[in-house]
Amino acid sequence: MELTQSFRLIGSMDIEEIPCDHVDEHHVIYWEDIENVFPGAKHVKKGNVCINMMRDSNRIRDKAATENLMEDICTDTKGQVAPDDIQEAVDQHREAADQGDSTAQYNIGVLYFDAQEYSQAMIWYRKAADQGHVMAQYNIGMMYHEARGVSRDYAESMTWYLKAANQEHAAAQHKIGDLYNSGLGVQKNYSQAMAWFRKSAEQGDPDGQRCLGVLYYNGYGAPKDLARAIKLFLQAAKQEDAKAQRIIGKLYEQGEGVSQDYTQAMAWLRKSADQGDSDGQYYLGHLYYRGYGTPKDHTKAAEWFLKAAEQGKASAQCMIGMMYGGGEGVPYDYTQAMAWCRKSAEQGHADGQRALGALYFQGHGTPRDLEKAIEWFLKAAIQGNAVAQCLVGLLFENGEGVSQDYTQAMTWFRKAADQGSSEGQRCLGCLYYFGNGMPKDYVKAAELFLKSAEQGDAVAQYLIGSLYVNGEGVPHDYIQAVAWYQKSADQGEPNAQRNLGVLYYHGDGTPKDTVKAKELILKAAKQGDAEALRFVGLLH
């Protein structure tokens, strides 16, 4: 076989190990050929298995493609191997395969699999697997696992993975761990999952290392052990496992098990993102968006969100949609905003559903449609999205697009408030204050306003300040009123600026200060506050 074929066979699938029992003279030559042009393809002896330490087989294929090493295997416009070329390649192995050579049989299976002729691939894999060919056994398991040319059958997949795993095939051991971890084809069993992940990890398999780390992180199958989890994540990440790199990046971002370090977070998330991991791209985008570990850069954030969105990540689709809607890092484009938010929403992403509802509500990128807005808000609210729950509550409170219904408004505000939503707490407090849908209850209103205010909600801070001024639900207390108005005014709330100015003017709860009073009232007036404008006239 020529060098082009060696790249084709070994680079065409995620082959991570080659059992030494099945490495014939030609196979060894092929690997030597690969090592000559791609020094990263190294092997170590472990038990009866040669483990391919170069985990990304696509890099071999890319190397071959860039040096025109695959000219004799032509592909059609869809990237599939043309039938004539398949037959020519198969013929090179057929004589040995017909004589029972399991490696030749396996190679024919690979050729057919790569051409998406799965039934033929299965026939030849089965011939090799029945002779104990470990990669053929693994690939049959994978075909049943992923429904390639056969009906999905996790139990049958497990059978074949076990055959390969019992020959110390690390990827098969990892796959068995996956099945036990998810309860597919077997009863969910974290102890068994841990045992198989450990076997894989101990052979240096990054998937096994990462998955074992996840079990330790969550405390599944063993007591939670964050230090051990991080050690395993790092082992996998250093082998260029994109998912592990992303996990390490998030741990540094959150300061979980390690000192919070946005620079390290960005470094690891970039490694993951550069490998095309959509989650890594999304999280890297957030670092740029927030300015963590780097100056805030909405343009770069949008670039990374877009990369993740184009791979179908719903949260990234929502983010890039909202950025188009807000003109952040990209030009204002409500049509693009609508398109991306819809993609997100149709995947069931609650924030995407809420954002799409907002576009319909505002008539941005589409004619205003309250019916559709409510439909999407409800979808998000039913999933527990607190912002959407507040929006649905407000629509029922105001009778906008639906019949006015204070009971429904209270139900949705309470759902949001019970999740700790400051807006939900404030809105629910307003219902109690005005007695909409229930008797007036200033004490309950004050309790809810205070919860919201303590979370930094500027409107709630203004409202609780007003209750202290009036002694409604709380004792009359100008000092408390001044304190809460100040917090709200500092956030730019015009009602608080105006009322705080009045307290300074009269010297209530604070020494009289007409200069300060005028300054605050003018701030509110500049925001268009009608009462503040009236006070400005009186001050003169």
pLDDT tens, position by position, 351-397: 999 999 999 999 999 999 999 999 999 999 999 999 999 999 999 99
> Each residue of 397-415: b (16+ CB within 10 Å) or e?
beeebbeeebebbbbbbbb
pLDDT tens, position by position, 492-539: 999 999 999 999 999 999 999 999 999 999 999 999 999 998 888 777
> Is 1-168 a domain of CATH 1.25.40.10?
yes
Mean pLDDT over residues 207-222, rounded? 97
Residue 43 backbone phi and psi in degrees, to 5: -135, 150
Residue 508 identity (one-letter amino acid): D
Residue 314: both structure tokens together: 């719903």
Q: How confident is the model at residue 11 (pLDDT cuts 50, 70, 90)?
A: very low
Helices (H) and strands (E) in the chain, counts: 29, 3
The type of residue at 493 is E
Q: For the domain bounded by 312-382, which CATH number is listed?
A: 1.25.40.10
- Secondary structure of 468-530 in HEC code, one letter for each residue: HHHCCCCCCCHHHHHHHHHHHHHCCCHHHHHHHHHHHHHCCCCCCCHHHHHHHHHHHHHCCCH
Q: For residue 342, what are its two tokens?
A: 């819809």
pLDDT tens per residue, range 283-323:
999 999 999 999 999 999 999 999 999 999 999 999 999 99
3-state DSSP assignment of residue 46: strand
Nearest to 217 by CA among 227, 209, 207: 227
Whole-angstrom distance, CA of residue 518 vs CA of residue 539: 7
Reply yes or no on whether the pLDDT at 12 is more than 60.
no
Q: Band of the pLDDT at 89, cuts 50, 70, 90?
A: confident
Please, how many CA atoms are within 13 Å of residue 360, restricted to the half-sphere of its CB?
19
Q: What percent of the chain has pLDDT over 90?
A: 81
What's the CA gap between 341 and 412, in Å, rounded? 23
Query: How many residues comprise the chain?
Result: 540
Note whether 350 and 385 are within 8 A (CB). yes
Cα–Cα separations (whole angstroms), residue 494 to 21, 40, 491, 533, 535: 79, 64, 9, 11, 13
Percent of the chain clearing pLDDT 70 (strictly above) = 84
Mean pLDDT along residues 445-460 = 98
Instruction: Judge if 312-382 and 384-455 fold alike in CATH terms.
Output: yes
Describe the crossing of helices 206-218 and 242-254 by its angle, rounded to 10 degrees.
Answer: 30
Question: Is residue 99 classed exposed, middle or buried when 0-12, 13-18 and 19+ CB atoms within 10 A define those classes?
Answer: exposed
Q: Look at residue 13 in the predicted model and tell me its pLDDT.
A: 31
pLDDT band at 440 (very low <50, low <70, confident <90, very high): very high
Give the start-to-end residue ranges of the domains of the chain.
1-168, 312-382, 384-455, 481-540
pLDDT tens readout for residues 321-355: 999 999 999 999 999 999 999 999 999 999 999 99
Distance CA 114, CA 97 (A): 18
Q: pLDDT digits over 147-203, tens only?
A: 999 999 999 999 999 999 999 999 999 999 999 999 999 999 999 999 999 999 999
pTM of the model: 0.79
How far is it, in rounded angstroms, from Cα 284 to Cα 63? 28
Domain topology for 384-455: 1.25.40
Would you tell me how many other CB atoms lie within 10 Å of the CB of residue 17?
24
- Say what the pLDDT of residue 83 is: 57
- For residue range 265-276, what is the model confidence (pLDDT) as tens digits? 999 999 999 999
Question: Is residue 32 classed exposed, middle or buried when 0-12, 13-18 and 19+ CB atoms within 10 A define those classes?
Answer: exposed
